[in-house]
Amino acid sequence: MKSLEQQLSRLDLNLLVSLSVLLKEKNVSRAAETLYLSQPAMSRTLKRLRDVFDDPLFYRESAGLQPTEKALTLQEPLSEILLSVSKLIDSTQFSPQSCDQTFRISLPPLMSRQLSVPLIKEIMRAAPNASLVEYPASLDPTTLLKDRAVDFSIHIEKPANAQEFPSELIGSTYAVFYGIAGHPLTKKSDTTLKDCLEYQFVDLNLDLRSVSETHNPIDTYLENKGLKRDIVFKSGQINTLIDAMQDSDKLLTSTHSLISIDDFEHRLDPVFEIQGDPKLDIKVYLVEHKRTLNSAAHQWLKQLILDTLRDKAFAAQN
């Protein structure tokens, strides 16, 4: 038995459009003019229609073409088919204001507030009926993308398979040591790395690279120098860490752009930064699956992510 696709493969959609116009005009010349065809071409189309439906479809009278009973029974379902096709085509035309889609994105928890807050604000402004669901980044972002668990992943490594998983650079970040405003090290003009390591640290327990359960990238960097931080408290919540630092001389190691989030610039002071060292120059990428490359909605969101985060989340570096 032939499949539906096989049965319909011999039918040209243009034939249905021509039949619809012929039913409305009841005149070959006027139908040809409406469709910008020559009269002989329209006559040939009518012949093909008669072959497809095995019916004359029209007979001639002095007033013009008159539809047969078969043609009349085709008129209503034909209108529904063409309307459905029109809606199908229109569905590819994307308007943020009318978008009610739910988008899913994964990103490193350390960067959640830094990235998600400016992004969701822009989505609410541009597409008030759309929604965003955030998931923590996995070790391999391609798994979530391939399984359709997320639409995009923000990650610190480009996938090896660039054809299946295209990516774009959002920005880069580097390590900065922070203390609560008024920390003793803010009074030094020549603070060194060893000066910072004399103090205890609070630390995020999920590192930016998502490649290790136990190490923040700064710790690998320090180990290679024979150095180590004294960490007294770990949390996955940046606000909890900063609250814990209050009224203390504890330090926090985070990204350069942390200071640009909300009121952190009033609560934190950068006391030392490691900029220009390629081992801690961490690049952040937006990764997608190739299936969304021709989706108008996803490409709109992709551009919004790039514009928003390049402008806000990573602007502090420039």
CATH of residue 46? 1.10.10.10
pTM of the complete model: 0.61
Q: Are residues 158 and 293 in the same domain?
A: yes
Cβ atoms 217, 175 nearer than 8 A? yes
Domain containing residue 76: 4-90
Using a 10 angstrom Cβ sphere, with 0-12 exposed, 13-18 middle and 19 or more buried, the burial of residue 247 is exposed
In this structure, are 295 and 274 located in the same domain? no
Token code pair at residue 81: 């088919």
Predicted pLDDT at 277: 84
Residue 157 corresponds to which amino acid? E
User: What local confidence, expressed as pLDDT, does residue 211 receive?
Assistant: 45
Q: What is the pLDDT of residue 164?
A: 94
Domain end marker among 90, 124, 149: 90
**Quick one: pLDDT at residue 198?**
96
Q: What average pLDDT score do residues 93-121 get?
A: 84
pLDDT tens by residue, 275-292: 888 877 888 899 999 999
179 with 251, same domain: the answer is yes
* Residue 111 CB contacts under 8 Å (≥ 6 apart), including other chains: 154, 208, 255, 284, 313
Instruction: Return the structure tokens found at 184.
Output: 């003793």
**Structural domain count, the chain:** 3
311 vs 295, higher pLDDT: 295
Domain finish residue from 90, 116, 132: 90
H helix or E strand, kind and range, residue 243: helix 238-245
pLDDT greater than 70 at residue 10 = no
Residues 172-185: what's their mean pLDDT? Answer: 91
Residues 162 and 292 in one domain: yes
For residue 82, what pLDDT band results from cuts at 50, 70 and 90? confident
Q: Are residues 154 and 299 in the same domain?
A: yes
Q: Average pLDDT in the 222-248 region?
A: 90
Percent of the chain residues topping a pLDDT of 70: 87
Same domain, 160 and 299: yes
Q: What is the pLDDT of residues 119-160, one digit of tens each?
A: 999 999 999 999 999 988 777 889 899 988 999 999 888 899
Shared-domain flag, residues 37 and 85: yes
pLDDT class of 1 with cuts at 50, 70, 90: low
Q: What is the pLDDT of residues 239-273, one digit of tens each?
A: 889 999 999 999 999 888 787 776 788 889 999 99
DSSP state of 138: P
Q: Are residues 62 and 22 in the same domain?
A: yes
pLDDT for the residue 318 = 42
240 and 260 co-located in one domain: yes
- 158 & 18 share domain: no
Least confident of 7-11, 16-20, 235-239: 7-11
Given its phi and psi angles, is residue 185 left (phi above 0), alpha (psi -120 to 50 degrees) or beta?
A: alpha
- Of the three residues 90, 113, 132, the one that is the final residue of a domain is 90
Domain CATH number, residue 146: 3.40.190.10
Residue 32 pLDDT greater than 60, yes or no: yes
- Contact (Cβ atoms closer than 8 angstroms) between residue 175 and residue 251: no
Q: What is the pLDDT of residue 237?
A: 79
Percent of the chain with pLDDT over 90: 42
Does residue 33 carry a pLDDT above 50?
yes
Same domain, residue pair 113 and 19: no
Has residue 208 got a pLDDT over 60? no
Which of the four pLDDT bands, split at 50, 70 and 90, describes residue 68? Answer: very high
Residues 145 and 207 grouped into a single domain: no
